[in-house]
Amino acid sequence: MTKSFVGRGIASAPLLVVTLLSFPVGMATAVADGCPDAEVVFARGTGEPVGPGGPGQAFFDALTAQLPGKAINLYPVNYPSTTDYANSAKAGAADEVAHVQSTVASCPNTKVVIGGYSQGAGVADLTSHELSPQVANHVAAVALFGNPQSSYAKQLGDNQIPPINPSYSSKTIDICLPNDNICAEGGSIIAHLGYVPDSTNQAATFVAQKL
């Protein structure tokens, strides 16, 4: 059974992440003025290839399937996603903050969705504290998977990443699978690899209601 809550976390543990599914990054519907209805900004997990990662692309595909006719863009956060967890996540947050600010400035009517898997969820945690309240008002939803909040994960990140900003609570879905040792105590890394497709579909339903 999955559970949803506001995330607490740091950069993720050694995930040995294997991208089980590979999908193309894309936009659901073309728009003439260059401003989509929604901009999904997603940070991949540790060790995943450049792009949104398996859970990120699966979440995006599920979201666009639930919102036919809407123009939804996917921006994969540009960051190292290495095992230098704290510094890697901070680099991701810097890129994410810059992209969200740019999107809001150029497309003020576009709704922003922030998402992340594993270390990428730590990136979102950091971002939530760095966006100004004015920019944060444009963030319609946050979707996190395997958010690194366990004591094990916190040790790996040197306790440098705060929990997600409480002001995002009502628009955040943070899914932690039972026995996932990155977001919960105990368990193993095996559960951490199981967020596609059930959890990504669940999060897509939550986010679609915010858009």
Domain residue limits, the chain: 38-210
| Residue of 95, 125, 174, 180 marked active site | 180
pLDDT reading at 188 higher than 70: yes
| Residue of 118, 128, 150, 199 marked active site | 118
144 contact partners, CB below 8 Å, separation of at least 6: 7, 115, 116, 117, 121, 124, 164, 172, 173, 174, 175
Signed CA dihedral, 192, 13, 56, 167: sign only: positive
The answer to whether residues 103 and 121 touch, using CB atoms and an 8 Å cutoff, is: no
The model's pTM: 0.85
Q: What is the pLDDT of residues 128-186, one digit of tens each?
A: 999 999 999 999 999 999 999 888 888 887 777 788 999 999 999 999 999 999 999 98
Arithmetic mean of pLDDT, 113-127:
97
pLDDT for 27 equals 54
d(CA 29, CA 177): 32
Is position 99 annotated as part of the catalytic site?
Answer: no
Domain 38-210 coded CATH 3.40.50.1820: yes
The pLDDT mean for the chain works out to 87
Is position 180 annotated as part of the catalytic site?
Answer: yes
Is position 37 annotated as part of the catalytic site?
Answer: no
The answer to whether residues 152 and 9 touch, using CB atoms and an 8 Å cutoff, is: no
d(CA 120, CA 46): 8
pLDDT tier, 31 (very low <50, low <70, confident <90, very high otherwise): low
Arithmetic mean of pLDDT, 50-72:
98
- Whole-number CA gyration radius for the chain: 15
pLDDT tier, 113 (very low <50, low <70, confident <90, very high otherwise): very high
